[in-house]
Chain A
């Protein structure tokens, strides 16, 4: 026993010390590692936490929402989103088993328009990718062949690693219809222009998500949080009326091609409005564009021309094409402003309606001679006759009675130079092209009275005009009257907004009568639809710079005359004809449109037709065309303008040189 004990070697002191050293070294290493963990947490904890979460996104799948439709007032779909499918190839999965490669490639080639070489290259170069987009935006029908093959597990067990990502594609069934008004969408449902932009938030929904998580038993479950589809926007537009309008605009463009540019005018625009609500029933300007291909310029330019454009030029051209003339462009309205001048006078009692004026062919204001359309003068006229004849001289005389303060106030009351707040993007105001009581001179007053020397947009004038004839109620013009949810339930009804009373009912009745007479027997006669009582006013404004023979002709009218249900405003900017100063361009277009629109709107003829009238009493014939010709005989020579208002685009102030005052050149005429 003792011997044994001696033989046993012991763990010596020295060894114990060495073991202690070893233990301390291990302890230091472990402390170092503990510090390292703390350091990772302190330095990158937040970053890594985010990284972890963002990786999860990759694992889950976004379920796209459907952007809401845009429908017209009758429910016709103008813009909609169709579900399309992207073909996603999981290269890594296919490459993971040799058995998968050939059957899958064969099936893909068979069912889709894809080249074998391209596919093989993708599988080789992106071997580790889970997400290779092979085809984009295929329709449901286009993917069915493959889906059938893939689901046939018995015959095709090795077709693997292909799935379909859903997406929505914006479609416009009527392509060009109301293109400026509707607008289009780009990637990710961003709306550009028109209703698509203004109501983009309303139309958009919320994406859903499909994701996996571990439940309490650590089993993987997949959960779907469904997408919320966007709301449907019901427009005030009527597709049929819009169609009629656009059809006639196109006919106009095809038949007026003096300089062979192919366009009937620089811009042809029409607004049709319900005067009792401010609802816009149709709104078109030409040239239009295809909403399905908004970047396509081929309808207006040749391929060479497009290719020659720099990207900036191209963008400018496109923006010009996309913008909505009716709200974004201002112009001098011309004689269509005359009823407003008269209404302001009557409303304030500055005019009684019983005045008479002598038109001698011109007025001299502050030393400037401003001429009437008829150089020889219209002679003695009542207010009614002044409107019917579109007499500048009489209007100028009225403006003296009205005075600068009242006139400027009423320009504002009628909404000129102010945004109408129509529910469309890109509306301009023309406030800087307006005079206030402080800046208006006598000459400005005189020229403003007949619609020159200040600028408006079509929407401003149409909204103001509606109030003139509906009893004085100024409604905010609008293009949307209802929001529906994805299931068709009403989310919101947008009622007409009555903004103000511009004039009294009595004044409105008087002005309405003058306008009725203007169409019945005056300068607006050629706009009259046979059998219907109508009112309206023409306008022929020479554009600045004066003397170039460039005119903007227009007509604003309404029907029926006693209880207006529809207002039409036609503007033709620089008609493509030899002598542009013919408002008959506008009246004829208005007549063509109204001839179809009135019956469509169930507005019945309330007058004898011309044939009936002739049969009843062999009365004096009414030839509309000649009226327009006389209307354009304005003779105010254009001198170099050096007036204080010359900074204004719409400056029409006449600083007339007596020496050139006798010019007979019709292109030098400015005012009707």
Chain B
């Protein structure tokens, strides 16, 4: 019972604070927690990044292997994104096959990477119809402090921007070469708490929220993916305002992802 009762009390408190434009951790409504990106965290991967947004930690590793292209896209490489919400990262996750929450994270991140044309898939092709690079983006949530989608895409982007194509190891070229990244999609997530819209929700804020909206932008001014999640609703005017903020936060996060300063 304690879990249910404490979360109920906390939810009421978070909503009360939100009504005054305040948050439990003292942030402003339009303020992210501290973001850090550590590139090359896992040396066994061809590219990797550990991203922290406050006490949320997400690790992404990229692996490239030769494989066959899909029959309907013989000239293109293959990109697959997978997210695991492992029980290590939160008492709310259980072992077993991926649950809808994990599938949603993978698919929303995958859509943003794909729609932004982050990597040119045709450049991954080795022999049309026969041999191509398959790019696996695996995302492990290590510590679930809320806002997993933003952290997951940032980690995936961090891993891709510093990835090496292991061409020498697989005897495809004489030397390994860096994976070329063309665009920088970044996701920005908001929640509605009462009538207040807040960016970068914590775990407890997500639990109290009446709707969550994720907006992915790229550096050229395009919106490249959106996903409304959780129970709740947003007005079209709220959505338009969030889009504007998503570009502002997105540009800052792109700098961080590329290895600049926060």
* A in complex with B: no
